[in-house]
Structure 1
Amino acid sequence: MLFWKKETQLDRIKNKLGKAMRKDTAFSVFGASSHKYRVYEKLTAKELADWQAKNQVTLPEPYTQFLTRVGNGGAGPYYGIYSIEKATSYTDSALTTKCVIHPGMTKEEWNHLTEPLINDEDISDLEYDAARDRVLGGMLCIGTQGCEYDMYLVIEGKHRGKIVYTSDFYPDRPFFFVYEDNFLDWYERWLDEIILDYDIAWFGSRMPGDENALIQVYQNAPNEEIKSKALDGMFKFKKISQPTIDFLESVAEQRQNDRTTAIQLICKTSVDAGRGYLLELLHSDRNEDLLHALQILNWYGKSFDLAEFIKVIVQSLDRVHDPETLRHVGYVLESSGAITLQNFAPFLCHTDSNIQTAAIYATRDCNDKSESWEIIQRMFMGGGKEAVKNSIQYWGLIPHEKLLPYYKAAWPEYKSNPNFREKFMACLKELNLPDDYFDKE
């Protein structure tokens, strides 16, 4: 008589670790080159019991099952899962205290909790550590995402077992609780999304589910926040199917609140599919629509023929009035040859230094600088030392006799820097002037 053993979640995870490794043989998934989909030797029951007795805590069962039946750390989201020993060393002294943070924490609650960490410049080291322990209390640090971002496991209270993504302490930015209720569900989702070839650069921060599941969530959502999160969850798909594009088109037509997100999702799969919407945004009187169109073209338009869009953007330059929009104009137009000093003259000579700086950067590859020396001279006259400095940084020196007085005034700041000195010398050589020209009175 044969008895078939039912596959457990732990069995699935072990199998999926192998599948993920075979899927990502180049270790191109973020952090995979660190852990290579391998786990450490499992923790024994005695070792786990000794650790819990020593630290006077009982860890959530899904996490202990992983430690004792899969591995004591190793492969996992981002840079992997810490061993229990390393997790302990990275966790502050507040392991046994109450966990006070929670999902849905308001900005006001967060700001009140972290106020001593953010605004008290005179706080002592002891007071700072105590305030930090209050925020991170009742949690174990189980891994890092890099830089200031870490992953914690809640081991106490109502939300015991949940995973929390932490960062430095900033106003209005509560820590993020992932969607899954326990460690194993979160971990298995990570493996599933690798196997399904999702974009997991920010794994766990977006709503889980495939295209159909997220459409259902959107359609049945009780509020705008859930609708927004359901759409945002679709950004993890590298390509979206035609039925989902049809759904997103209906959202773009019928839902003003989600229109831009729906258009962005369509264009992520195909700029051609979103062409009509992009042109509509570019022709809109609203500056935010123009910016959104430029952002989408910058993010997803590199491999498409943008000639039609470029023509409209150039015709719309007089509608650009802020640095952020101008920067994205530069990003979209930079490889087209459509940027000239002539059409960027209003920005280069603008009274807003941020707009001027964005324009200098955007025109760094223009070939008409020498012929447009009058524009540069006006820019130098209006923008002063900052304009000259930025132009030298992004352009080098433009060899024209009318610009030499401005470069001569800047020379003392650059003469001892070999890289910049070379640029100054090259300018003089181009104009057949002696090497000591800038040093002469």
Structure 2
Amino acid sequence: MTHTDWSDVPGRLARLAADPAAEKVFGAHAHEWTLEPPLRAEELAELEGQLRVELPEEYRAFLLAAGRGGAGPAYGLFPLRRVGGRWAWEGDGADLTDRDTLIRAFPHTEAFNPADALPEQPDEEDFDTVEAFNEAEDAYWERYNEVVYTPEHSIGLLYLCHLGCALREALVVSGPARGRMWADDTADGGGFRPLFDDDGTPLGFARWYRRWLDAAEVSQEVATVRA
């Protein structure tokens, strides 16, 4: 089911912002429970014209009704900015989104790790000298970076937030998993994986966002009780 009603979100964020306990929620100091103004319909049309693809329905409804970025999971939603006539997302890792290839399909529906295609990391015990081992290890990591960090892996992904330590989450814009949220864990060797709700249902943008909002309210309530 697609969820496009965001009318309750401003009030819920305002209540969180007014409660001192809410500042203890992870990432709150970065977004301060504030959403930037929504996009106007003509601005969204301009953005999608530049991307040459329509954004998934739940996210585009959020942009029009709730905000263009700000309060959200982890350190917040990457905000949209219009600079020099071009729309782009800003934030730590937002540049991983290749706007020119969002129209191309992200082909995956199951978790994958690009590093799985690499040979095993060199073992020092297999080398006669430290110099030979160091040379093999340098070659391995050079190849690792070439294979794991190629932009080809994230074609069709719109990066929306960062969790810290270069871990990020993204929305699939094009491909068989369109509209679903994925995690990019390549920074800690984990590859890419789809995100699921507690019942195993794939997370779309709306449930992903509301799941965070629900957890933030519960966290605030617990902190208030303990105080």
TM-score of the pair, normalised by structure 1: 0.37
Match of residue 193, structure 2, among 170, 176, 179: 176
Number of residue pairs the alignment of both structures matches: 186
Deviation at 1:25, TM superposition (A): 4.5
8 Å CA contact 1:43–1:72 kept in 2: the answer is: yes
SS of the residue corresponding to residue 105 of structure 2 reads coil
Question: Which of residues 166, 170, 175 in structure 2 aligns to 1:157?
Answer: 175
1:70 aligns with 2:66: yes
Q: Identity rate of aligned residues, in percent?
A: 26
Output one character per residue of 1:238-270: Cα deviation in whole Å (capped at 9) or x when no partner.
Answer: 9xxxxxxxxxxxxxxxxxxxxxxxxxxxxxxxx
1:192–1:169 distance in 2 versus 1, CA, 3 Å: closer
> Which position in structure 2 is the counterpart of 1:434?
none
**Displacement, 1:185?**
1.4
Q: Is the 8 A contact 1:100 1:134 kept in 2?
A: no
Contact 2:7 2:65 in 1 (8 A): no
Aligned partners of 1:176, 1:186: CA distance in 2, in Å? 14
1:137 is the counterpart of 2:155: yes
Structure 1 runs not aligned, ≥5 long: 1-7, 200-236, 239-441
Change (3 A) 1:23 1:193: farther
Query: Are 2:185 and 2:191, in contact at CA under 8 Å, matched by a contact in 1?
Result: no
Computing the radius of gyration from Cα coordinates, the structure with the larger value is 1
Q: 5 Å matches for 1:373-412?
A: none
Cα deviation for residue 42 of structure 1 reads: 1.0
Give the SS at the match of 1:66.
helix
Identify, as 1 or 2, the structure richer in strand: 2
| 1:394-415 residue CA offsets vs partner (Å, 9 max, x unmatched) | xxxxxxxxxxxxxxxxxxxxxx
Structure 1 residue 156: Cα displacement: 1.0
Q: Is the 8 A contact 1:138 1:156 kept in 2?
A: yes
Whichever structure has more helix as a proportion of its residues is 1
Q: Distance in 2 between matches of 1:38 and 1:58?
A: 26
* Residue 33 of structure 1 pairs with residue 29 of structure 2: yes
Whichever residue aligns with residue 160 of structure 2, its letter is I
Alignment of 1:103-118 (within 5 A): 103=110, 105=111, 111-112=116-117, 115=118
Alpha-carbon shift at residue 189 of structure 1 (Å): 1.4
> How many Å separate the matches in 2 of 1:58 and 1:26?
35
Alpha-carbon deviation of 1:198?
7.7
- Residue identity matched to 1:87: W
Give the C-alpha shift of residue 192 in structure 1: 1.0
1:188 lines up with 2:193 in the alignment: no
Aligned partner of residue 219 in structure 2, secondary structure: coil
Query: Is 1:146 equivalent to 2:164 in the alignment?
Result: yes
Match of 1:227 in 2: none
Q: Specify whether residues 169 and 134 from structure 1 end up closer, same or farther in structure 2 by C-alpha distance, changes over 3 A only.
A: farther
Aligned to 2:9: 13
Match status 1:100 vs 2:107? yes
- Please state how far the C-alpha of 1:68 moved relative to its aligned partner: 1.0
Aligned to 2:51: 55
Shift of 1:28: 0.9
> SS at the partner of 1:187?
helix
How many angstroms does 1:170 deviate by?
Answer: 5.6
Contact persistence 1:87–1:140 (CA under 8 A)? no
Letter in 2 for 1:100: P
Are the aligned partners of 2:75 and 2:163 in contact in 1 as well (CA < 8 Å)?
A: yes
In structure 2, runs of 5+ residues without a counterpart are: 82-87, 122-138, 197-201
Taking a change above 3 Å as real, the CA distance of residues 110 and 19 of structure 1, as seen in their structure-2 partners, is farther
Give the residue type in structure 1 aligned to 2:34. R
TM-score w.r.t. structure 2 length? 0.69
Contact 2:104–2:175, Cα closer than 8 Å, also in 1 = no
Query: Using a 3 Å threshold, how does the CA distance of structure 1 residues 32 and 170 change in structure 2: closer, same or farther?
Result: closer
Q: Give the secondary structure class of the aligned counterpart of 1:143.
A: strand
Indicate which of 70, 86, 89 corresponds to 1:87: 89
Measured at CA, do residues 55 and 198 of structure 1 come closer, stay the same or move farther in structure 2, by a change above 3 Å?
same
Structure 2 residue aligned with 1:251: none
Query: Do the aligned residues in 2 keep the contact of 1:150 with 1:167 (CA within 8 Å)?
Result: yes
| Structure 1 match to 2:41 | 45
Shift of 1:129: 8.7
